[in-house]
Amino acid sequence: MADNAAGLWETPAAEALRFRPGMQIADLDSRSTPGFVSSKIDGKRALHERGTVLSSLQEKLYANGRSGDNRSVLLVLQGMDTAGKGGMVRHVIGHVDPQGVDHVAFGVPTDEEKRHHYLWRVTKALPRGGQLGVFDRSHYEDVLVVRVHGFVPETVWRGRYDEINQFEKELLGTGTTLVKVAMFVSLDEQKSRLQKRLERPDKYWKYNPGDVTERKLWPAYQDAYQAMLDKTSTEDAPWYVVPCDRKWYSRIAVTELLIDAFERLRLEWPEPDFDVDTEKRRLAES
């Protein structure tokens, strides 16, 4: 990594967090800070500095998109309620120019969405060339909540892992770089975050009684997340497993994952489609 946030990481986030075959999320410590060797204060400071780096990379992608480049970056955020998906959008994506961001949050499918294949609404929401797409939940809900609740028969959701791999392969082929982030919060931390939502009037809106119901299904969700990682983490579209009990860590980590993805695109500023000297002369004479 070029400018690795001035030595705050001993292992780059993209390496430390990449899902490796055999990795068990049951063994994951959600309070851990893989790869990061400095303090919370340094982490918070780095978030702003690295957010600026992310912003200029994103601007370059946007500029290229305006010149017809079809490449895009798609951040997929998956995680249980309270894992911090919304905060990730506000505090990480918040650093970049909103014009260049295509943000979509996926909830319970609408009646119209239910009439279509589960990838229909996802396809419609894909980022255009030059854009940074952000999915707050995604097509993976169709092998997570849908699997846990048995909304479709097992034979159906089992077939979806291959289908999703194929879908993402085609996506990569059209110039989209995927950054898939699985956010893990512990059961205890989730409880305290839900408690806060019940204690503060400014947080009531985030509270959903259904979240407590889902807590009872925690082991089934763990299994579904493990299967998702085992079956859909591929060479070109790997999952990154991010411990999220410490918000400052998860935010700087995802910032670094995005910077890494953008840097791999080796973006340059687009060439002008006019003669600069001629235009300078014309402007001076005008």
146 binding partner (options ligand AMP, Mg ion, none; Cβ < 5 to 8 Å by kind) = ligand AMP
Interface with ligand AMP by CB under 6 A: which residues?
A: 81, 106-109, 137, 141-142, 145-146
267 binding partner (options ligand AMP, Mg ion, none; Cβ < 5 to 8 Å by kind) = none
Whether 43 contacts 248, CB under 8 Å: yes
Whether 126 contacts 134, CB under 8 Å: no
Which CB atom, from 142 or from 256, has the smaller least distance to Mg ion? 142
Residue 69 engages Mg ion in binding (rule: CB under 5 A) = no
Label residues 231-254 b or e (16+ Cβ within 10 Å = b). ebbeeebbbbbbbbbbbbbbbbbb
Q: How many residues bind Mg ion (CB under 5 A)?
A: 2
CA distance 157 to 48: 40
Which CB atom, from 137 or from 203, has the smaller least distance to ligand AMP? 137
CA distance 45 to 51: 10
Length in residues, the chain: 286
| Max CA separation in the chain (angstroms) | 73
Distance of alpha carbon 188 from its chain centroid, rounded?
A: 23
Residue 136 engages Mg ion in binding (rule: CB under 5 A) = no
- Tell me which H or E stretch contains 181: strand 176-184
Which CB atom, from 45 or from 197, has the smaller least distance to Mg ion? 197
137 binding partner (options ligand AMP, Mg ion, none; Cβ < 5 to 8 Å by kind) = ligand AMP
- Report in angstroms how near the CB of residue 99 gets to ligand AMP at its nearest: 24
- Report in angstroms how near the CB of residue 89 gets to ligand AMP at its nearest: 11
CA distance 194 to 208: 9
46 binding partner (options ligand AMP, Mg ion, none; Cβ < 5 to 8 Å by kind) = none
Which CB atom, from 69 or from 141, has the smaller least distance to ligand AMP? 141
Residue 81 engages Mg ion in binding (rule: CB under 5 A) = yes
Which CB atom, from 107 or from 209, has the smaller least distance to ligand AMP? 107
* Nearest by Cα to 253 from 27, 101, 44: 44
CA distance 12 to 261: 12
Which CB atom, from 142 or from 245, has the smaller least distance to ligand AMP? 142
- Report in angstroms how near the CB of residue 265 gets to ligand AMP at its nearest: 29
Where does this chain bind Mg ion (CB under 5 A)? 81, 208
